[in-house]
């Protein structure tokens, strides 16, 4: 089933929600439908409804432009690719690594954690990049919220919401 783009009161994109949550927000009068999916309807025994494509909350939501620091979001930031050998992997085959090891004062934050495959992480161990003679695929940094939001959308989803994000269709 298709998802719904949820906007705050000022039309700022918040997240993707499923159709059940979208209809709940609509029927509890916490949001309005801005646009419908043209090709799909939800049926009840007595009525039918077009599936919401974009909805706007009636309230403004505070502080939405921060990407949560967690394992999955680091994988997305690094495109599920080991930053040492530059090979893409499935999430289950990836680990996180401190660029500057914790034992040498490295912090656990966006700028010091990268995605690594098991063999590269074991090979690097407690050494610095210079000691290993390797370079990162790209310098780790905290992602911008909007670009990160778009990164998490699949190609099919990007084409569905391209008019909302000024994206080119594939």
pLDDT, position 32: 94
71-132: CATH, from 3.40.190.10, 2.60.40.10, 1.10.30.50, 3.20.20.60: 1.10.30.50
96 or 40, greater pLDDT: 96
Domain boundaries, the chain: 4-64+145-165, 71-132
Q: Which of 74, 85, 70, 98 minimizes the C-alpha distance to 137?
A: 85
160 or 14, greater pLDDT: 14
The gap from C-alpha 113 to its chain's centroid, in whole angstroms, comes to 17
pTM of the model: 0.60
121 or 64, greater pLDDT: 121
Q: Cβ–Cβ contacts within 10 Å for residue 89, how many? A: 17
**Averaged pLDDT score across all residues of the chain:** 83
% pLDDT > 90, the chain: 39
Alpha carbons 132 and 130: distance in angstroms, whole number: 5
């Amino acid at each position: 089933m298709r998802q719904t783009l949820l906007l705050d009161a000022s039309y700022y994109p918040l997240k993707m929600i499923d159709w059940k949550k979208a209809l709940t927000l609509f029927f509890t009068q916490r949001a309005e439908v801005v646009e419908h999916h043209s090709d799909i309807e939800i049926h009840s025994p007595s009525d039918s409804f077009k599936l919401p494509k974009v909805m706007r909350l009636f309230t403004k939501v505070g502080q939405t432009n921060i990407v949560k620091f967690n394992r999955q979001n680091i994988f997305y930031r690094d495109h599920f690719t080991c930053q040492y050998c530059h090979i893409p992997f499935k999430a289950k085959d990836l680990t996180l690594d401190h660029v500057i090891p914790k034992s040498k004062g490295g912090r656990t934050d966006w700028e010091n954690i990268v995605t690594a495959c098991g063999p590269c992480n074991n090979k690097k161990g407690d050494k610095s990049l210079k000691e290993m003679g390797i370079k990162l695929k790209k310098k780790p940094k905290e992602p911008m919220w909007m670009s990160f939001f778009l990164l998490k959308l699949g190609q099919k989803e990007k084409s569905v919401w391209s008019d909302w994000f000024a994206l080119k269709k594939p």
